Amino acid sequence: MLWAALLLLTFGMVMVYSSSIAMAEASKFTRGSPAYFLQRHALFLAASLFAGMLAFQVPVRLWQQAAPWLFVLGVALLALLLAPGLGREVNGARRWLSLGLVNLQPSEFMKLFVVLYAADYTVRKLALMHSFKRGLLPMFAVMLVVGWLLLREPDFGAFVVITAITTGILFLGGMNGKWFGGLLVMMAAGFVGLVLSSPYRMQRIFGFMDPWSDPFGRGYQLSHALIAFGRGEWFGVGLGASVEKLLYLPEAHTDFLLAVIGEELGFVGVIAVIALFSWLVLRAFAIGRQAVALERPYPALVAQGIGVWFGVQSFINMGVNMGVLPTKGLTLPFMSFGGSGLLANCLALAVLMRIDWENRQLMRGVRA
Amino acid sequence: MNFAASPVLALTLPTWRSRLLLYVFIACFAVLLGRAVYLQGLNNDFLQAKGESRYSRVIEIPANRGRILDRNGEALAISTPVKSIWAIPGEVRPSERQLARLGALLEMSPREIENRLAETGRDFVFLKRQIPPEVAERVAALHIPGLFQNREYRRYYPSGEVAAHVLGFTGVDDIGQEGVELAFQDGLAGKPGSRRVIKDRLGQTVEDVESIKAAQDGHDLALALDARIQNLAFSQLKAAVAQHRAKAGGVVVVDVDTGELLALANFPTYNPNNRHKLAGAQLRNRALTDTFEPGSTLKPFTVALALEGGRVRPDSVIQIAPGSLSIGASTIHDAHFERSLTVAQIIQKSSNVGAAKIALALSAESMWEMFRDVGFGAAPGLGFPGEAAGKLRPYRNWRPIEQATMSYGHGISVSLVQLARAYSVFARDGELIPLSMLRVDMPPPARRVMARRTAGAVRAMLEMAVNRGGTAPRAQIMGYRVAGKTGTAHKQENGVYAADKYVSSFVGFAPASHPRLVIAVMIDEPSAGRYYGGTVAAPVFAQVMAGALRVLDVPPDGPMQPIELPPEGEEVKESV
């Protein structure tokens, strides 16, 4: 699993460089240095790997104890974004906290904190999971607050991921089937309501359904992403030879990295990425079930929660790239450019590996 | 484990839920995989076509425009490489200093440049076109981002104003606007080639995809024009227009053997290399596009027709007394009184009364046919823009007075080129040959329009007109026998003949024993006192003819002795 993640990270770095050259050169912001994004990405990556190694040293028990506090921290950071003067606005969304040299994106960390907290919550209320009032309602209330904060930014993508993580963990934690079904229906209704209530989200939905009807307006991004895939064919046009990245495809190095991969490395490149993510999810769930077998419910839920996170986020991102899902601002975990995302992903990976390591220790008979 | 009812064990997580979720994920990833196969393997043609339409562009490779050469290969129009400066308005942000230097180089005010660059809605704005390459290099040295250069060609005409009307000129897009440049645009322009390239969103070419078509350079065009004769004709014309304070003038030189136009000069003219402040009058290729009432130069055709029908012989005597002829309410006068003249003398001394009397014995239809046969009333067909056909009214409407005046060139209008061509019939023993603006290697077939004998007889009369006792002694050339006819006509203004405005002309050929060149000269509104064709136009003819024969190395056929001219004012006056 570590190898899969490392492959994704390395591959991601190469592709971030390749896809950002043209943009870096053209932008005044980077002072014309083509390696601007590569340098920053490599720096973030080194920091993230180091942080991951540190995080690996932390026992899962400690994570569980810290979970509520981390969750509160996350909510606080999200709330700070709304405070005037602190949030940095890019393309109409206030998603970044300006911290001098680097910008922090709280929603990325929030995803990890939600995994840790929801798992902790579920384990604590394991016995009450069949009850609506005491099992579901408190969590529901908390998530409403988080969801509201995220939508204020707005960061619809993070909202979907976090909702998915929470529901996933509640579901895995044995929530009453009837209530869960009701919850799904409610969420579906809420989702539709949200989409219909905001013209900005409406536009994205329609752009996805038929990008060719308005290829220079709503469908601009997606149509260029699709063209990139089409140009790639089976084996790609060759590393660095993408045309779409030459300022046609916006956000080629973040949200639409897979499209550039598809163009430059073809179907082979895309299949490799899908395979690596599948393996990651598979392993996370395997580790989780191992923990279940070892009667360690908290690590089990955390591991699977992380699996849900990676799975949902990578699926949505790739689905968006290929025009299966409506356009949302979500990055590809481990691969896309962006320091906060990278750091949060690496921390999650470290936690996952720690769980696996503790599982193995247990199986060897060492009691934690 | 499932059968254990222990409450502790019941707290363990249900594994089936985990498996179900995992399967959902695997299904999702499978969908992605399927989508990738569809996009990259199956639907890629459609997507690639969409992509092509976004960033692949066909760019044109300009073809070099062919040169225009004279008959001996001397360049009359050549293309020199120049540059155009263009900009992407949104991307050019020059400093004050850069702006000032750019303005100085492009000869534009900084404000003017800023105004151009303010059109931010556009991706492409020309700042200045057709600047010399060395200036373009200095512009490039300013290193202003967003400023680009295009290679273009600019036409240059080494002969300047001399042949301006024949050559015409090209516009800024290198497309012919006037003259030969317009008439032979297709051949000169060649065919631009094209390549397909991929451009990035800023319009920079990133990849050459394919060359669709190689550029085909335009063909060089060899004109019939002889630069030496053209120079001569132009300089003599210019001098004559100045000397006689005329409004305009033209000279046409035609090769009798081939029908080639060896020279075609007009005045006023213009410098095609610098076309600022051009007036319409300067632009007109008068010799070809303007018509005038030719006057007495048409008398030989009337006489030729009468000779053809056997009605008269050159020595038939026609009564002129009392020196005027009344037809209906109108009266035709002669300039000088003669009791009677032979047919030949009518030409020699240019008698209107004599010509009219001969004409009245002819049918209107036959006169009309003669005029038509020698090319009047129809465009000469050089392929040149705006060739005039002239006015030759249908004979059915001719009244007797009209038929009479037409015999000496009134009530009919021709262009100078038509006149020169018509005289080639006498020079060629009765054949009419098509004229050509281009060099001719094989002369085209000529059409016989009058008997050889008739043409020979008229030639002899025309020689008499130039010699002592004729109206045009000043057309004589030392060493060559010359034949020709003067014309002096009142100009019509608003349908009335103006008393003091004349068109003076002379058409002739030499050597008379074996004609080689026809030259027609026309001077419009000479206003320095003299206006007779014999004194205004004939000297120009003599100068150009003498020079041209020398240039062409034509052997002399006349006595090598100085020409004796009658004292000023004592030559035979032409009837006007």
Spatial separation of the C-alpha atoms in residues B38 and B34, rounded to whole Å: 6
Higher pLDDT: B4 or A174? It is A174
Confirm if A97 and A47 have CB atoms less than 8 A apart: no
Put residue A236 in one of left, alpha, beta given phi > 0 → left and psi -120 to 50 → alpha. left
The yes-or-no verdict on residue A165 having pLDDT over 80 is: yes
Chain A residues whose beta carbon lies within 8 Å of the beta carbon of residue B39: 226, 229-230, 262, 322-323
The yes-or-no verdict on residue B255 having pLDDT over 90 is: yes
Chain A residues whose beta carbon lies within 8 Å of the beta carbon of residue B40: 229-230, 232-234, 262, 266-267, 270
- Beta bridge pairs of residue B75: B69
Window 7-26 of A: residues touching B by CB (8 A cutoff) are 22, 26
Chain B residues whose beta carbon lies within 8 Å of the beta carbon of residue A172: 13-14, 17-18, 21
CB contact under 8 Å between A231 and B202, yes or no, is no
HEC readout, chain A: CHHHHHHHHHHHHHHHHHHHHHHHHHCCCCCCCCCHHHHHHHHHHHHHHHHHHHHHCCCHHHHHHHHHHHHHHHHHHHHHHHCCCCEEEECCEEEEEEECCEEECHHHHHHHHHHHHHHHHHHHCHHHCCCHHHHHHHHHHHHHHHHHHHHHCCCHHHHHHHHHHHHHHHHHCCCCHHHHHHHHHHHHHHHHHHHHHCHHHHHHHHHHHCHHHCCCCCCHHHHHHHHHHHHHCCCCCCCCCCCCCCCCCCCCCCCCHHHHHHHHHHHHHHHHHHHHHHHHHHHHHHHHHHHHHCCCHHHHHHHHHHHHHHHHHHHHHHHHHCCCCCCCCCCCCCCCCCHHHHHHHHHHHHHHHHHHHHHHHHHCCCCC
- φ, ψ of residue B198 in degrees (nearest 5): -105, 130
- Beta bridge pairs of residue B523: B249, B504
Chain position carrying tokens 């390549």: B195
Spatial separation of the C-alpha atoms in residues B275 and B286, rounded to whole Å: 19
Whole-number Cα distances in Å, B209 to A124, A147, B484: 65, 50, 67
Specify the DSSP element, H or E, that contains B267: strand B261-267
Chain B residues whose beta carbon lies within 8 Å of the beta carbon of residue A288: 18
Higher pLDDT: B215 or A130? It is B215
Band of residue B2 on the pLDDT scale cut at 50, 70, 90:
very low
Contact residues for B234 (Cβ-Cβ < 8 A; gap 6+): B161, B162, B163, B251, B263, B265, B267, B269
Joined together, the tokens standing for residue B220 give: 């060089």
Confirm if B328 and B347 have CB atoms less than 8 A apart: no
The minimal CB distance from B32 to the residues A174, A247, A322 is found for A322
Q: Which residue in A153, A165, A115, A184 sits closest to A313, CA to CA?
A: A165
Question: What is the number of other CB atoms lying within 10 angstroms of the CB of residue B2?
Answer: 5
Window 21-80 of A: residues touching B by CB (8 A cutoff) are 22, 26
pLDDT in tens, B428-441: 999 999 999 999 98
Q: Which residue in B421, B36, B438 sits closest to A315, CA to CA?
A: B36
Spatial separation of the C-alpha atoms in residues A92 and A154, rounded to whole Å: 8
CB contact under 8 Å between A289 and B51, yes or no, is no
Whole-number Cα distances in Å, B38 to A222, A234, A242, B43, B181: 16, 11, 20, 6, 56
Look up residue B400 and give its amino acid.
P
Higher pLDDT: B173 or B121? It is B173
A311 close contact with B: CB closer than 8 A:
yes
Spatial separation of the C-alpha atoms in residues A308 and A293, rounded to whole Å: 19
CB contact under 8 Å between A295 and B12, yes or no, is yes
B21 close contact with A: CB closer than 8 A:
yes
Window 155-194 of A: residues touching B by CB (8 A cutoff) are 168, 171-174
Q: Which residue in A230, A331, A197, A234 sits closest to A277, CA to CA?
A: A331
Spatial separation of the C-alpha atoms in residues B384 and B266, rounded to whole Å: 15
The yes-or-no verdict on residue A100 having pLDDT over 70 is: no
* Residue B413: per-residue pLDDT: 92
The minimal CB distance from B25 to the residues A127, A223, A281 is found for A281
A256 close contact with B: CB closer than 8 A:
no
CB contact under 8 Å between B12 and A292, yes or no, is yes
DSSP code string of B143-194: --TTEEEEEEEEEE-TTGGGGHHHH--B-TTS-B-SHHHHHTHHHHH-B-EE
CB contact under 8 Å between B29 and A315, yes or no, is yes
pLDDT winner (highest mean) among A155-159, A210-214, B467-471: B467-471
CB contact under 8 Å between B47 and A168, yes or no, is no
Among chain A residues, CA nearest to B30: A274
Handedness of CA B33, B39, B44, B48 (dihedral sign): negative
B202 close contact with A: CB closer than 8 A:
yes
A287 close contact with B: CB closer than 8 A:
no
* Residue A132: per-residue pLDDT: 63
A207 close contact with B: CB closer than 8 A:
no
Higher pLDDT: A26 or B575? It is B575
A300 close contact with B: CB closer than 8 A:
yes
Percentage of chain A lying above the pLDDT 90 cut: 0
* Residue B5: per-residue pLDDT: 38
- pLDDT (mean) for B283-307: 91
Band of residue A365 on the pLDDT scale cut at 50, 70, 90:
confident
Confirm if A216 and A171 have CB atoms less than 8 A apart: no
How many CA atoms lie within 13 Å of A56's alpha carbon, on the beta-carbon side? 14
The alpha carbon of residue B283 is apart from the nearest alpha carbon of chain A, in Å, by 49
CB contact under 8 Å between A227 and B54, yes or no, is yes
Confirm if B568 and B494 have CB atoms less than 8 A apart: no
Residues of B annotated as part of the active site = 296
The yes-or-no verdict on residue A27 having pLDDT over 60 is: no
- Ranges A355-359, B325-329, B334-338: which has the least confidence: B334-338
Decide: residue A363, CB within 10 A, 0-12 exposed, 13-18 middle, 19+ buried.
exposed
Higher pLDDT: A293 or B408? It is B408
Angle value at C-alpha A360, between A358 and A363, nearest 5 degrees: 110
- Prediction pTM value: 0.61
pLDDT in tens, A325-338: 776 677 777 777 77
* Residue B204: per-residue pLDDT: 59
Decide: residue B360, CB within 10 A, 0-12 exposed, 13-18 middle, 19+ buried.
middle
The yes-or-no verdict on residue A217 having pLDDT over 60 is: no
Among chain A residues, CA nearest to B14: A174
The alpha carbon of residue A97 is apart from the nearest alpha carbon of chain B, in Å, by 31
ipTM over 0.85: no
* Residue B132: per-residue pLDDT: 84
* Residue A175: per-residue pLDDT: 67
Higher pLDDT: A320 or B245? It is B245
- pLDDT (mean) for A7-20: 68
Chain position carrying tokens 């409506």: A326
* Residue A355: per-residue pLDDT: 85
CA dihedral A45→A48→A49→A50, nearest 10 degrees, is 120
CB contact under 8 Å between A285 and B18, yes or no, is yes
The yes-or-no verdict on residue B378 having pLDDT over 80 is: yes
CB contact under 8 Å between B21 and A304, yes or no, is yes
- pLDDT (mean) for B54-77: 81
The yes-or-no verdict on residue A131 having pLDDT over 70 is: no
A333 close contact with B: CB closer than 8 A:
no
pLDDT in tens, B86-124: 887 767 777 888 888 888 888 888 888 888 877 766 667
Spatial separation of the C-alpha atoms in residues B77 and B168, rounded to whole Å: 10
> Beta B248-255 vs B261-267: how paired, if at all?
antiparallel
Put residue B470 in one of left, alpha, beta given phi > 0 → left and psi -120 to 50 → alpha. beta
Among chain B residues, CA nearest to A22: B200
- The chain-wide mean pLDDT, for chain B, equals 84
Confirm if B218 and B185 have CB atoms less than 8 A apart: no
Across the A/B interface, how many CB contacts are shorter than 8 Å?
A: 139
Specify the DSSP element, H or E, that contains B17: helix B15-37
Chain B residues whose beta carbon lies within 8 Å of the beta carbon of residue A217: none
Q: Which residue in A308, A316, A302 sits closest to A281, CA to CA?
A: A308
In a mutagenesis test of the A interface, which of B20, B25, B45 is the best target, namely the one with the most A β-carbons within 10 Å? B25
**Angle between helices A156-172 and A297-321 in degrees, nearest 10:** 140
pLDDT in tens, B183-211: 888 888 877 777 766 665 555 555 655 56
Confirm if A249 and A256 have CB atoms less than 8 A apart: yes
Contacts 24+ apart (CB under 8 A), B562-565: B562/B478, B563/B473, B563/B476, B563/B477, B563/B478, B564/B468, B565/B473, B565/B474, B565/B476
> Beta B431-432 vs B324-327: how paired, if at all?
unpaired
pLDDT winner (highest mean) among A130-134, B98-102, B384-388, B544-548: B544-548
Evaluate the omega torsion of the peptide bond into residue B511 and state whether it is cis, within 30 degrees of 0. Answer: yes
Chain B residues whose beta carbon lies within 8 Å of the beta carbon of residue A230: 39-40, 43-48, 50-51
Spatial separation of the C-alpha atoms in residues B391 and B402, rounded to whole Å: 13
A308 close contact with B: CB closer than 8 A:
yes
The yes-or-no verdict on residue B360 having pLDDT over 80 is: yes
pLDDT in tens, B28-45: 888 888 887 777 777 767
Band of residue B4 on the pLDDT scale cut at 50, 70, 90:
very low
CA dihedral B130→B134→B137→B139, nearest 10 degrees, is -60
Q: Which residue in B268, B289, B290 sits closest to B279, CA to CA?
A: B268
Percentage of chain B lying above the pLDDT 90 cut: 35
- Ranges A144-153, A245-254, A308-317, B459-468: which has the least confidence: A245-254
Put residue B248 in one of left, alpha, beta given phi > 0 → left and psi -120 to 50 → alpha. beta
- Give how far the C-alpha of residue B470 lies from the chain's centroid of Cα atoms, to the nearest Å: 36
